[in-house]
Amino acid sequence: MSRVRIGIDFDNTIICYDKVFAAAALQRGLVPPGWTGSKTDVREYLRSKPDGERAWQGLQGWAYGKGIANAEVFPGVTDFLAACRQNNSSVCIVSHKTRFGHQDPDRTDLRGAALDWLRTAGLIGTEHSALSHNNVFFEDTQPAKVERLASLDLDVFIDDLVDVFAQPHFPRHVRAILFAGSGNPVPGPFKSIASWAEIQREVFRR
């Protein structure tokens, strides 16, 4: 198999914020004591309440900035990156992430926070890391993200949002994989896959 060039989204594809959102919502008294749920559950719950949208945006400002330290690597990501190394594939991250959040009074540098998280998780910065710091790209807008991934001459791009694949300039020759999580498969011009173990089988099938 020839060397495969792989691009991966960051937020909610590599990094899982479920515990960050649940803990922050509890701590702010936005959900009842003992409440548990995913990031999506927190959003649905808050949006069903008066003024819930503002509370939700405030939580996001926290989660992607100061709260990021408690976020987790999605199960299977580390194995996938090891398989990339084994197969001599190149890997980069292309993320739509502004430097500062709109609803973050602390003005945390979100890109710096993401890089720190990647380093702490061991995904960049060690000789065994599959990723190099130079292969992490943050863009201000969704169209700029697609321009970037198009310029990297990728074979595969993996993202949790269909919006990326729906951009008119998303390159047609790039294999689009939607990391769909535990929900139902989503129809569209991409392959919808629920777990990183399955993504690994899909990308490195012989």
Residues found near Mg ion in the complex (CB under 5 A): 9, 11-13, 160
* Residue 91 C-beta: closest distance to Mg ion, Å: 16
Closer of 104 and 159 to Mg ion (Cβ): 159
* Residue 7 C-beta: closest distance to Mg ion, Å: 12
Closer of 26 and 191 to Mg ion (Cβ): 191
SS3 of 2, please? coil
Closer of 13 and 89 to Mg ion (Cβ): 13
Closer of 9 and 18 to Mg ion (Cβ): 9
Closer of 31 and 68 to Mg ion (Cβ): 68
- Give the C-alpha separation, 156 to 8, whole Å: 8
* Residue 118 C-beta: closest distance to Mg ion, Å: 15
Closer of 116 and 160 to Mg ion (Cβ): 160
Q: Which of 66, 45, 65, 64 is nearest to 55 (CA)?
A: 45
SS3 of 166, please? helix
Structure tokens at 154: 């990728």
* Residue 150 C-beta: closest distance to Mg ion, Å: 18
Q: Which amino acid is present at 76? A: G
- Give the C-alpha separation, 7 to 36, whole Å: 32
Cα distance between the two ends of the chain: 8
- Give the C-alpha separation, 104 to 84, whole Å: 35
- Give the C-alpha separation, 190 to 173, whole Å: 11
* Residue 133 C-beta: closest distance to Mg ion, Å: 20
SS3 of 1, please? coil
* Residue 10 C-beta: closest distance to Mg ion, Å: 7
Half-sphere exposure (Cβ direction) of 127: Cα atoms closer than 13 Å: 0
